[in-house]
Chain A
Amino acid sequence: MVIFVGKRLLQLVPVLFGVVTITFFFTHVAVPNPCAAWTKARTPGAVQACVVTFGFDKPLSVQYTTYLQNLISGNWGTNSVQQPVLPSILRAFPETLELVFASLLLMVVLGIPLGVVAANGAGRWPDHLVRTFYLSGWATPTYLGGLILAIVVGPALGLPYTGDFSSAKPPGWEIVHMSVIDAMLRLDPGALADAILHLILPATALAFLNMGIATRMTRGSMLEILPMDFVKTARMKGLTNFWVLYRHALRNSLISTTTVLGIAAGGLLSGTVVIENIFRWPGIGTYAFNAIIGYEFAETIGIVIVFAVGVVLANLVADVLYGLLDPRVEWR
Chain B
Amino acid sequence: MTEPVLQVEGLSVDYEVGAGTFHAVQDVSFELHPGRVLGIVGETGCGKSTLAHAIPRLLQEPPARIRRGIVRFRGIDLLKLPRWQLPRVRGTGISMVFQEPINSLNPAYRIYDQVAEAIRIRRLRESGQAPGLVSPQEPFDYSKPKMPNVGEVLLKPLVPSKGPASRRPMFSKDAQDLRATVLEYLKLVRINDPDTILNLYPHELSGGMRQRVMIAIALSGRPSLLIADEPTSALDITIQAQVLTLMKELMTEIRTSILFISHDLGVIAEMADDVGVMYAGHLVELGPVDQVYRDPRHPYTKGLLRSAPSKYKSEGPLPSLPGSVPNLSRLPRGCPFHPRCVLAHADCTQDPGPKLTKAVEAAGPEHLAACYYSKEVPGIP
Q: Which residues of A contact B (CB under 8 A)?
A: 227-230, 232-241, 248, 251-252, 255, 325-328
Closest Cβ–Cβ distance, residue B317 to chain A (whole Å): 37
> Which of A232, A239, A251 sits near B108, CB closer than 8 Å?
A251
Residues on A with beta carbons closer than 8 Å to the beta carbon of B121 = 237-239
Please state if B87 and A327 are interface contacts (CB–CB under 8 Å).
Answer: no
The closest CB in chain B to the CB of A325 belongs to B108
Asked if B371 is an interface residue, CB under 8 A from chain A, the answer is no
Instruction: Using A233-B106, A237-B117, A238-B121 as known contacts, say yes or no to A227 and B90 having CB atoms under 8 A apart.
Output: no
With most chain B CB atoms within 10 A of its CB, the pick from A230, A248, A252, A255 is: A230
Q: How many residues of B contact A (CB 8 A)?
A: 40
What CA separation (Å) do A236 and B104 show in the bound complex? 11
Please state if B201 and A237 are interface contacts (CB–CB under 8 Å).
Answer: no
Please state if A238 and B104 are interface contacts (CB–CB under 8 Å).
Answer: no
What CA separation (Å) do A141 and B218 show in the bound complex? 52
With most chain B CB atoms within 10 A of its CB, the pick from A237, A241, A255 is: A237
The closest CB in chain B to the CB of A328 belongs to B203
Asked if B38 is an interface residue, CB under 8 A from chain A, the answer is no
**Stretch of B25-33, B91-99, B296-304, B353-361 lying at the A interface:** B91-99
Asked if B306 is an interface residue, CB under 8 A from chain A, the answer is no
The closest CB in chain A to the CB of B105 belongs to A230
Please state if A328 and B91 are interface contacts (CB–CB under 8 Å).
Answer: no
Closest Cβ–Cβ distance, residue A276 to chain B (whole Å): 38
Nearest first, the 9 A-B pairs at minimum CB distance are: A238-B91, A229-B103, A229-B104, A327-B201, A230-B106, A238-B90, A236-B96, A237-B118, A237-B91
Contact sample, A vs B, 23 pairs, CB 8 Å cutoff: A229-B98, A229-B99, A230-B105, A232-B58, A233-B114, A233-B214, A235-B56, A235-B87, A235-B90, A236-B91, A236-B94, A236-B95, A237-B95, A237-B121, A238-B89, A238-B90, A240-B87, A241-B87, A251-B108, A326-B107, A327-B107, A327-B108, A327-B203
Asked if B312 is an interface residue, CB under 8 A from chain A, the answer is no
Please state if A252 and B106 are interface contacts (CB–CB under 8 Å).
Answer: yes
Closest Cβ–Cβ distance, residue B64 to chain A (whole Å): 12
Closest Cβ–Cβ distance, residue A246 to chain B (whole Å): 12
What CA separation (Å) do A150 and B375 show in the bound complex? 85
Please state if B90 and A236 are interface contacts (CB–CB under 8 Å).
Answer: yes
Closest Cβ–Cβ distance, residue A303 to chain B (whole Å): 39
What CA separation (Å) do A255 and B108 show in the bound complex? 10
Closest Cβ–Cβ distance, residue B312 to chain A (whole Å): 38
The closest CB in chain B to the CB of A240 belongs to B87
Asked if B60 is an interface residue, CB under 8 A from chain A, the answer is yes
What CA separation (Å) do A204 and B243 show in the bound complex? 55
Residues on B with beta carbons closer than 8 Å to the beta carbon of A237 = 90-91, 95, 117-118, 121, 217, 221
What CA separation (Å) do A229 and B100 show in the bound complex? 8
What CA separation (Å) do A326 and B108 show in the bound complex? 6
Please state if A240 and B117 are interface contacts (CB–CB under 8 Å).
Answer: no
The closest CB in chain B to the CB of A251 belongs to B108
Please state if B87 and A239 are interface contacts (CB–CB under 8 Å).
Answer: yes
Residues on A with beta carbons closer than 8 Å to the beta carbon of B93 = 238
Please state if B201 and A236 are interface contacts (CB–CB under 8 Å).
Answer: no
Q: Digit string of B40-56 for contact with A (CB within 8 Å is 1, else 0)?
A: 00000000000001001
Closest Cβ–Cβ distance, residue A237 to chain B (whole Å): 5
Instruction: Using A233-B105, A233-B106 as known contacts, say yes or no to A227 and B94 having CB atoms under 8 A apart.
Output: no
Residues on A with beta carbons closer than 8 Å to the beta carbon of B53 = 232
The closest CB in chain B to the CB of A248 belongs to B106
Please state if B84 and A251 are interface contacts (CB–CB under 8 Å).
Answer: no
Known: A233-B96, A233-B104, A238-B88; 6 extra A-B contacts, CB below 8 A, are: A230-B107, A236-B91, A251-B109, A326-B108, A327-B107, A328-B203
Please state if B107 and A252 are interface contacts (CB–CB under 8 Å).
Answer: yes
Residues on B with beta carbons closer than 8 Å to the beta carbon of A251 = 106, 108-109
What CA separation (Å) do A240 and B106 show in the bound complex? 16
Residues on A with beta carbons closer than 8 Å to the beta carbon of B107 = 230, 252, 326-328
Asked if B34 is an interface residue, CB under 8 A from chain A, the answer is no
Asked if B132 is an interface residue, CB under 8 A from chain A, the answer is yes
Instruction: Using A233-B106, A252-B107, A327-B201 as known contacts, say yes or no to A239 and B117 having CB atoms under 8 A apart.
Output: yes
Residues on B with beta carbons closer than 8 Å to the beta carbon of A240 = 84, 87
What CA separation (Å) do A274 and B130 show in the bound complex? 52
Closest Cβ–Cβ distance, residue B16 to chain A (whole Å): 13
Q: Digit string of B195-213 for contact with A (CB within 8 Å is 1, else 0)?
A: 0000001010000000000
Closest Cβ–Cβ distance, residue B210 to chain A (whole Å): 11
What CA separation (Å) do A235 and B55 show in the bound complex? 13
Closest Cβ–Cβ distance, residue A327 to chain B (whole Å): 4
What CA separation (Å) do A235 and B95 show in the bound complex? 9
Closest Cβ–Cβ distance, residue A323 to chain B (whole Å): 12
> Which of A228, A248, A255, A327 sits near B103, CB closer than 8 Å?
A228
Closest Cβ–Cβ distance, residue A241 to chain B (whole Å): 7
What CA separation (Å) do A104 and B94 show in the bound complex? 42
What CA separation (Å) do A248 and B104 show in the bound complex? 12
The closest CB in chain A to the CB of B214 belongs to A233
Please state if A236 and B106 are interface contacts (CB–CB under 8 Å).
Answer: no
Please state if B218 and A227 are interface contacts (CB–CB under 8 Å).
Answer: no
Please state if B203 and A230 are interface contacts (CB–CB under 8 Å).
Answer: no
Please state if A233 and B84 are interface contacts (CB–CB under 8 Å).
Answer: no
Residues on A with beta carbons closer than 8 Å to the beta carbon of B125 = 238
Closest Cβ–Cβ distance, residue B128 to chain A (whole Å): 15
What CA separation (Å) do A327 and B217 show in the bound complex? 21
Residues on A with beta carbons closer than 8 Å to the beta carbon of B87 = 235, 238-241
Closest Cβ–Cβ distance, residue A273 to chain B (whole Å): 38
> Which of B84, B91, B104 sits near A241, CB closer than 8 Å?
B84
Residues on A with beta carbons closer than 8 Å to the beta carbon of B109 = 251
What CA separation (Å) do A97 and B201 show in the bound complex? 36
For chain B residues 112-148, which have a beta carbon within 8 Å of chain A?
114, 117-118, 121-122, 125, 132
What CA separation (Å) do A261 and B87 show in the bound complex? 33
What CA separation (Å) do A239 and B124 show in the bound complex? 12
Residues on B with beta carbons closer than 8 Å to the beta carbon of A325 = 108
Closest Cβ–Cβ distance, residue A326 to chain B (whole Å): 7
Closest Cβ–Cβ distance, residue B137 to chain A (whole Å): 18
